[in-house]
Amino acid sequence: MSSDAVEKQAQVARLVADLRTAKVELLSAQCAADRLRLRYSPQDLISLGERQTLERAIASVHALSRYFSQIEAHLRQEDQERNQNK
C-alpha cells in the first residue's frame, strides 16, 4: 500500500471516529435541551436565565443548524443525482 493510500485510510478512520463522537455529543446536547424544554417555559428561561448564556446557546444552535443544513443539501443533491442515473 502506498504512503498516500495509508494516509488517506488514516484520514477516513479519523473522520469516522470524529463523526461518531460528534453524534454522541449532539445527542447529549439534545437531551439537555429537552430537559430544559420539559422543566421550564420559554418565559421562565428568558426572565430567570442568564441572558448571555441563552444568547451563546442560541448562537451555537444556529451555527449547527447552518452547518448540518449544508450537509443535508449535499446529501439530497447526491440522492437526486443517483436517482437520475438509474
Question: Does 34 lie in the same domain as 7?
Answer: yes
45 falls within a domain: no
Q: Return d(Cα 51, Cα 57) in angstroms, integer.
A: 10
Quick one: cell of 2? 502506498
Tens of pLDDT, residue by residue, the chain (86 residues):
789 899 999 999 999 999 999 999 999 999 999 999 999 999 999 999 999 999 999 999 999 999 999 999 999 999 999 999 87
Q: Domain of 73?
A: 51-86
27 falls within a domain: yes
The total domain count for the chain is 2
44 falls within a domain: no
pTM above 0.85, yes or no: no
7 falls within a domain: yes
Question: Does 35 lie in the same domain as 2?
Answer: yes
